[in-house]
Structure 1
Amino acid sequence: MKLLTCSFLALSASFCISPFAHADQVINDDLIVTSSECIGFDCVNGENFGFDTLRLKENNIRIHFNDTSISASFPTNDWRIVANDSGNGGENYLGIEDSNTGRFPFRVQAGAPADALVVEADGDIGVKTRNPVVDIHIVEGNTPTVRLEQDGSDGFTPQTWDMAGNEANFFIRDVTNGSQLPLRIEPGADTNSLYVNSNGHIGIGTNSPDTQVHLVETANTNTVFRVENKNATGSNAEVSLVNSIREWKFRNNTVGNFVINAPGDTGFELELREDGTLILEGGLITGTPSGTCNPGPCDATFQPDKFTVPSIEDHAEYMWENSYLWGVGPTREGIPMNLTKKTGGILHELEVAHIYIEQLHHRLKDMENRLEAFEQK
């Protein structure tokens, strides 16, 4: 049996209405209740309100906002505040229902923690914190996380990403593909560890990259750019340089040698082996700012106005006195050799030697002529 529903009217005059009354009460004036009010079939006479001013009390509690606007220019949507599902085994929650569609854009489940959602006066939002200090502040005992889930409802492939952080690292997690972690930042990483400026240049250790990729190291260590292939099958580690004309690849091959080649070539243009052997597919062309034949005068050896060929005697004296050829210079044990300079010097000495051969040929020819004349006498 349902109990009486009691209300208190102005001037503290009270009355009780039986739930079995057939006629609705219509009050054609403002209604003022100077004490608490209970509405619902389960309200009782002598209800203990505590600090409640308005109480809704029965097994299905709803507040319906029924907008009766009929003009097309006015909004007409109906809303409802719902406390808990009405069916057996339903959920416990407080929700706001869009009554025109039956959807719940907002819902708070029973048992939610204290300060599950806090909006401060300045608009900062706290999740599990009463004192948000930034626009959105999330507090969690273990790895606070934000999830971005594309569920496929708009026809796109489902994909889920997590953005999270803990004492080990800040990370991006690809939940859909085995929870891989494509991006991780450890606590204590230096300022500007990775920086992208307005024109797309990437700085590593700098906020002023002046090239597409600019790496700066300030510690007392070597600046290192490392490319490593950890595939167990022995794949190459490659760096590719491409423009509109050609592509070049710098790589270590499957036997560990450093190789430069162009894609599609069956061989290589350059190979540097572990023992220091250098192999070139083509020729080696060298030069220095001071001249290819430094210190020799290159082909000017044959131009008397540019180079004075020393006498054979002077050249020989210099050679024996210094233990090296003038054009080639010293070749000391254990000291690196400048092949460009040595090659130019050898070429110069070869040219001088041919001049000496010609000089000796003329001397020999002159001696032969004299000998022939002597024999004729």
Structure 2
Amino acid sequence: MNMQLKYLLAVIPLALSTTANADVVHADDVIIQNSACIGFDCVNNESFGFDTLRLKENNLRIKFDDTSSTGSFPSNDWQLTANDSNSGGANKFSIEDITGGRVPFTVLAGAPTNAMYINSNGNVGLGTNSPVLDLHLINGNTPAIRLEQDGSSGFSAQTWDIGSNEANFFIRDVTGGSKLPFKIVPGAPNNSLYINASGNVGIGTASPNGKLVVANGNVGFGTSSPSTKLHVVDADSANLATSTALLENTNTGLNAVLLELKNPGASYIKLTNALASPVVGYWLMGAKNDGSFALLNDKNFQVMTIDNAGNMNVKGTVTANNVLLTSDINKKENFQSINGIEILSAISKLAISKWNYKSQSTSEQHIGPMAQDFYQLFGLGGDDDKHISAIDSAGVSLAAIQALYDLNLKKDQQIEELSKRIADLENKTK
């Protein structure tokens, strides 16, 4: 049987079935070398153009009905669907999982060219027919992807966007009011943010050797325009119950250095009052080049120092309810007796005058000796002839008081003896 006869035998029953409305079962292969049209709206002399197979009616479906029923053979039924059948339905093309009752893939009418494109390397393009990487998105304005947890599994709904444009790459918290907690601006340098395998974070470096290492530049917390290497801004209401920064070591029983300042010269911490017209603009405290600790401000400069031996120098007045000077016998040695009369004699030679410190107003007067004179007469306080120790001045005063007491006691005894002698003489002359 030649090809033309086979074709004729195949087509004639189809034509007859249309008029007779009967199924045609053909037990042999059917080969159609031209185009074929299937559907109620196919017409005689259909103009196919380049179409090989055409479905033409108002309800277009191609169903794959798998009749496998034994063993582990797959038997899921699938369907290609063009447009919804109901009025007002979607203009779409879908792949439907008939057995599962799902529609895993749909393309709506009007989808742009290259809405989804897979090249020969398996790269997927969204908006491009030349995807460079595994997934390549192109859009004229802010290409982005959305990650949405819809709450259907019992967890709170949350939506995030990841996108980019000429201004920045960003992560957007859609649920949280479309805040942008993370941004990268075009032109950001290499290793702007680097986290190594140990969890150490490097800013500007790919080799952080601590929890946080900043190579260079300014770092801001709470501000997008840090003015120093580390700039922390807290806009919360000011109070003494909370801190803007906290350094804490939770290992009990250990001594720890929580903050270290290093500088080739003097190192200071600056405390600034940001009020419009503060009494003092700022305070500085830190270690000077000579090893002493100093407290300074912008009004009186150096107001207090503590040298490396523990000696304190205060520029102003020290006010206290009480001052305790160490006088425990167990803390002392090299005990020597003193001559109170010599102490009293030395005091008589000590020049006492009224004066004021050069840093004070002339109206702020004091009375007392000069340290050099005190040192020359008593030689106390080591080699320091510029200061008078409170315990030395108290000791000298107590020694002088004792000497005066002894002198007065002797004078009283002499007076008492003289009074008796006078009384005896008066009695004899009567």
Q: 3-state DSSP class of the match of 2:230?
A: coil
Task: Give the match for residue 225 of structure 1.
Answer: 230
Would the aligned equivalents of 2:217 and 2:229 in 1 still touch at CA under 8 Å? Answer: no
Task: Give the match for residue 25 of structure 1.
Answer: 24
Would the aligned equivalents of 1:195 and 1:203 in 2 still touch at CA under 8 Å? Answer: yes
Task: Give the match for residue 53 of structure 1.
Answer: 52
The alignment covers a number of residue pairs equal to: 281
Task: Give the match for residue 252 of structure 2.
Answer: 245
1:197 matched to 2:203? The reply is no
Distance apart, 1:278 and its partner CA = 9.3
Q: Which amino acid aligns with 1:226?
A: H
CA radius of gyration, larger in: 2
Gapped runs of 5+ residues in structure 1? 1-7, 261-269, 294-301, 304-332, 334-345, 358-377
Residue by residue over 1:230-274, the C-alpha shift from the partner in whole angstroms, topping out at 9 and shown as x without a partner, is 34x3467622111123997999799787899xxxxxxxxx99877
Would the aligned equivalents of 1:234 and 1:254 in 2 still touch at CA under 8 Å? Answer: no
Would the aligned equivalents of 1:227 and 1:237 in 2 still touch at CA under 8 Å? Answer: no
Would the aligned equivalents of 2:37 and 2:54 in 1 still touch at CA under 8 Å? Answer: yes
Aligned partners of 2:64 and 2:145: how far apart in 1?
34
* Closer, same or farther: CA 286–33 of 1 in aligned 2, 3 Å: farther
Aligned partners of 1:279 and 1:177: how far apart in 2?
51
Task: Give the match for residue 382 of structure 2.
Answer: 351
Task: Give the match for residue 145 of structure 2.
Answer: 146
Q: Which amino acid aligns with 2:229?
A: V
Would the aligned equivalents of 2:122 and 2:134 in 1 still touch at CA under 8 Å? Answer: yes
* Greater relative contact order, per chain length (Cα 8 Å cut-off, separation 6+): 1
Task: Give the match for residue 389 of structure 2.
Answer: none
Distance apart, 1:352 and its partner CA = 3.8
Q: Note the aligned Cα RMSD (angstroms).
A: 4.0
Identity value in percent: 44
Per the normalisation by structure 2, the TM-score is 0.57
Task: Give the match for residue 207 of structure 1.
Answer: 206
Task: Please show how residues 63-74 of structure 1 align to structure 2 within 5 Å.
Answer: 63-74=62-73
Would the aligned equivalents of 2:84 and 2:91 in 1 still touch at CA under 8 Å? Answer: yes
Residue by residue over 1:279-324, the C-alpha shift from the partner in whole angstroms, topping out at 9 and shown as x without a partner, is 99xxx9764xxx889xxxxxxxx99xxxxxxxxxxxxxxxxxxxxx
Q: Which amino acid aligns with 2:252?
A: I
* Closer, same or farther: CA 151–71 of 1 in aligned 2, 3 Å: same
Residue by residue over 1:324-358, the C-alpha shift from the partner in whole angstroms, topping out at 9 and shown as x without a partner, is xxxxxxxxx9xxxxxxxxxxxx9x9822469xx9x
Aligned partners of 2:216 and 2:120: how far apart in 1?
45
Would the aligned equivalents of 2:161 and 2:173 in 1 still touch at CA under 8 Å? Answer: yes
* Closer, same or farther: CA 28–229 of 1 in aligned 2, 3 Å: same
Q: 3-state DSSP class of the match of 2:183?
A: strand
Q: Which amino acid aligns with 1:193?
A: S
Would the aligned equivalents of 2:17 and 2:23 in 1 still touch at CA under 8 Å? Answer: no
Would the aligned equivalents of 1:38 and 1:55 in 2 still touch at CA under 8 Å? Answer: yes
Distance apart, 1:148 and its partner CA = 0.3
Distance apart, 1:225 and its partner CA = 1.4
Task: Give the match for residue 338 of structure 1.
Answer: none
Q: Which amino acid aligns with 1:192?
A: N
Task: Give the match for residue 412 of structure 2.
Answer: none
Distance apart, 1:227 and its partner CA = 1.2
Aligned partners of 1:143 and 1:352: how far apart in 2?
78
Q: Which amino acid aligns with 1:351?
A: G
Would the aligned equivalents of 2:7 and 2:30 in 1 still touch at CA under 8 Å? Answer: no
Q: 3-state DSSP class of the match of 1:146?
A: strand
* Closer, same or farther: CA 227–42 of 1 in aligned 2, 3 Å: same
Would the aligned equivalents of 1:10 and 1:33 in 2 still touch at CA under 8 Å? Answer: no
Per the normalisation by structure 1, the TM-score is 0.64
* Closer, same or farther: CA 224–349 of 1 in aligned 2, 3 Å: farther
* Closer, same or farther: CA 227–99 of 1 in aligned 2, 3 Å: same
Task: Please show how residues 1-377 of structure 1 align to structure 2 within 5 Å.
Answer: 10-11=6-7, 14-15=11-12, 16-217=15-216, 224-231=229-236, 233-234=237-238, 238-243=244-249, 244-245=251-252, 287=308, 350-352=381-383
Aligned partners of 2:101 and 2:164: how far apart in 1?
37
Would the aligned equivalents of 1:238 and 1:251 in 2 still touch at CA under 8 Å? Answer: no
Distance apart, 1:31 and its partner CA = 1.1
Aligned partners of 1:36 and 1:353: how far apart in 2?
118
Aligned partners of 2:93 and 2:284: how far apart in 1?
69
Aligned partners of 1:121 and 1:142: how far apart in 2?
27
Q: 3-state DSSP class of the match of 1:239?
A: coil
Task: Give the match for residue 415 of structure 2.
Answer: none
Q: 3-state DSSP class of the match of 2:245?
A: strand
* Closer, same or farther: CA 217–349 of 1 in aligned 2, 3 Å: farther
